[in-house]
Amino acid sequence: MLDDRDRKILSLLQSDGGMSVAELADIVNLSVSACSRRILRLESEGYILGRKAVLDRTKMGVPTTVFALVKTARHGDDWLAAFHRAIANIPEIVEAHRLTGNHDYILKIVLPRVEHYDVIYKQIIRQVELFDVSASISMEALKESGALPVGYAV
């Protein structure tokens, strides 16, 4: 069961995964060793799955975001496996979600420029048959924290 200090540690690590244990301990009013033990427990219990660096997309050369909405007429295991393989091997596809409603999948694609979307589109359709794909270009990211709310954790 998590307490308020655990939640604070999780929140702080989401905002800055490189924060030292000493800094965390100071903020949550724990000794360094007690804070370190809590972090290890949070990792072993699966609350913390890993740590990663957040890269600057402009400096990485992929400032453009396109969301592709995908419809398929096929839902069999073979098609699904091929679709998973296709999107897994395209690094520009940074997120993929199966949906309810009018579309089957949404892909978040990061690109050097919007014209590069056609390259990604062709990579996908060479590997799997799609019924329909429509794409929308993100004009502005209003929120991209990636941080999860910690208040619901049990």
Specify the pLDDT at position 145.
85
| Average pLDDT taken over every residue of the chain | 95
Third-level CATH fold of 64-137: Alpha-Beta Plaits (3.30.70)
Digit-coded pLDDT (tens) for 69-105: 999 998 899 999 999 999 999 999 999 999 999 999 9
Q: Is pLDDT larger for residue 122 or for residue 52?
A: 122
Query: In this structure, are residues 153 and 10 in contact, taking their beta carbons and an 8 Å threshold?
Result: yes
Structure tokens at 127: 């590997």
| Confidence check: pLDDT of 146 > 90 | no
122 phi and psi angles, rounded to 5 deg: -65, -35
Which overall architecture, per CATH, does domain 4-44 show? Orthogonal Bundle (1.10)
Q: Where do the structural domains in the chain lie, given as residue ranges?
A: 4-44, 64-137
3-class state of residue 57 by DSSP: coil
| Confidence check: pLDDT of 65 > 90 | yes
Specify the pLDDT at position 92.
98
> What integer is the mean pLDDT of 19-45?
97
